[in-house]
Amino acid sequence: MLTDIEIAQKAEMADIREVAAKIGATEDDIEMYGKYMAKMSDGFLNKIKDNKDGKLILVTAINPTPAGEGKTTVTLGLGDALRQMGKNAVVAMREPSLGPCFGIKGGAAGGGYAQAVPMEKLNLHFTGDFHAITSANNLLCAMLDNHLLQGNELGIDPKRIVIKRCLDMNDRALRNITIGLGKRLDGVVREDHFSITVATEVMAILCLAEDLEDLKARLGRIIVGYTYNNEPVTAADLKAVGAMTVLLKDAIRPNLIQSLENAPVFVHGGPFANIAHGCNSVRATKTALKCADYVVTEAGFGADLGAEKFLDIKCRVSGLRPDAIVLVSTIRALKYNGGIPKDELSKENVDALKAGICNLGKHIENLKKYGVPVVVTINKFLADTDAEVEAIREFVNDKGCKFTISEVWEHGGKGGQDLANAVLETIEEGKADYHPLYADDLSIKEKIEAIAKGIYGAGNVSYTQEASKAIEKIESMGYDKVPVCIAKTQYSLSDDPKLLGAPSGFEFNIREVYVSAGAGFVVAISGTIMTMPGLPKRPAAENIDINDEGQTVGLF
């Protein structure tokens, strides 16, 4: 059995100009990054702006488990399946972060015979978007600390700085640091912190901005800290916006690559869903909708995180409206939720599956609250049995959803035909009536509780004293009408990663709250979730190398 990287390296990729032609773009409409990657030009985006929008299909999943669910694999396979059926379909997905590539999770290019290529470049430096975001964020931090040293004209309180430096790497040692040590001209001594790049507000802004003008306005609203008089200080106050925008002027343009079957794939932006808002850029999704009749997009981690943020933040901000939702699960993951250890998941166990299927049921229930029809698909493994499949089929049918088997990992687009037909039938039925979970005019705590109780299943929500004070301050600043982005573990519906299945009635704790004024939402952090992940005892980086022929090995 070939590994993902071996399959990708054997792929017969088309010249990116040929791929661009499939969405109506000429060589003048793209900026090529080598032979197989490109950025779309602003001229192309303007040329297609009056095109009719296609139908939007959101792919999400149950809570991730060590068994893996294959959400990105299904996303790409569904796109290929639709094109095999003669449909004008395009995929829009997130860019991978370097952190998980060298840590534990892996990349975000799909798997098996449903991948985006060139896989190595996508999972590593790609077109440099994340480097640009890192540089723009850290420029702002550098200008802030320089301002403190050069007289602090704005009266910024060094103990009330909220902007963090960033790095696109899992490096827990940088979570809490002291800077400015040494001589006087080496800076003001203060406590500082790092986030991973994908958790930064600059990443969120890039993914929500409609255009360069909107990007610039949003960057200017970033709150970097507070004065001694408790007044917010912004990036605009520090006169950093122009230089930050220059660093991001290319990064804001969507990237175009291809699937293994040479279908067009937009890949742009990549906030994590457990610590950020979890969706690819609005710009890429809207561009895709103008280029195709069907756009398949995904949201990060499980539906309680990525899909909730797609539906409550991205759709609310952008006006996007999904026509169907695909909910991905595996039989192995459901048995894991039923209490079966990872090394026994290949054995048939219908009882364990029925014990863990409540997790799937909760996600179906949650997604229906948004008024969008749901198609459930099982990402099939070789060890799955007919009895297990039929148990899920019966459960899903009782929930009023279409049920399909996806075999795209093994067969590419051919293995996604049943899923594609079910999605097309669902869209043709025209039952989508999207609406967000909560209204804009609710208080911040009411919005948090709407998500915690309505989506996670919590019995009540508790707040640390610091979180409650922060909410009072945020609301007094006029940010009470914005949506809420909750940072929590991806492994459970609750804030405790060990609570599997569909827990209910638990206490959900909010320990920190802050406003991302440029992005336009309030962030509420729960449990022990960190915005700078750490590496495992044996990181994936130990297995990655380059061979004598210059090929990368060990990358998935």
Beta bridge partners of 192: 177
Extended strands (E) in 53-98: 55-61, 89-93
The distance of Cα 477 from the centroid of its chain, to the nearest Å, equals 28
Is 508 a catalytic site residue?
A: no
Amino acid at 260: L
Annotated catalytic residue within 381, 385, 453, 511: 381
- Catalytic residue (choose from 44, 409, 508, 521): 409
Whether 409 sits among the annotated catalytic residues: the reply is yes
556 annotated active-site: no
Would residue 87 show up in a list of annotated catalytic residues for this protein? Answer: no
State the Cα–Cα distance between residues 257 and 95, nearest whole angstrom: 11
3-state DSSP helix/strand/coil % of the chain, to nearest 5 = 40, 20, 40
Annotated catalytic residue within 22, 39, 55, 71: 71
The sign of the dihedral angle between the CA atoms of 469, 475, 476, 477 is: positive
Q: Is 381 one of the catalytic residues? A: yes
Q: Is 94 a catalytic residue?
A: yes
Residue of 493, 427, 403 whose CA lies nearest to 457: 493
Q: Residue 218 catalytic? A: no
Annotated active-site residue 239? The verdict is no
Q: With b meaning 16 or more CB within 10 Å and e meaning fewer, what string describes 404-428?
A: bbbbbbbbbbebbbbbbbbbbebbe
The helix-helix angle for 358-368 and 386-398 (nearest 10°) equals 30
Report the SS3 class of residue 343. helix
Counting beta carbons within 10 angstroms of the beta carbon of residue 554, is it exposed (0 to 12), middle (13 to 18) or buried (19 or more)? middle
Catalytic residue among 39, 94, 221, 314: 94
Q: Which residue in 14, 38, 273, 288 is the catalytic one?
A: 273
Query: Which residue in the list 44, 102, 266, 301 is annotated as catalytic?
Result: 301
CB-based contact 322:434 (threshold 8 Å): yes
Tokens of 520: 């336009």
Cα angle: 49, vertex 60, 338; to 5 degrees = 180
Out of 60, 72, 73, 426, the active site residue is 73
Instruction: For the chain, give the number of residues.
Output: 556
Q: Cβ–Cβ contacts within 10 Å for residue 390, how many?
A: 11
133 closest CA partner among 97, 160, 109: 97
Catalytic residue among 55, 105, 164, 335: 105
Annotated catalytic residues are 71, 73, 94, 105, 273, 301, 381, 409
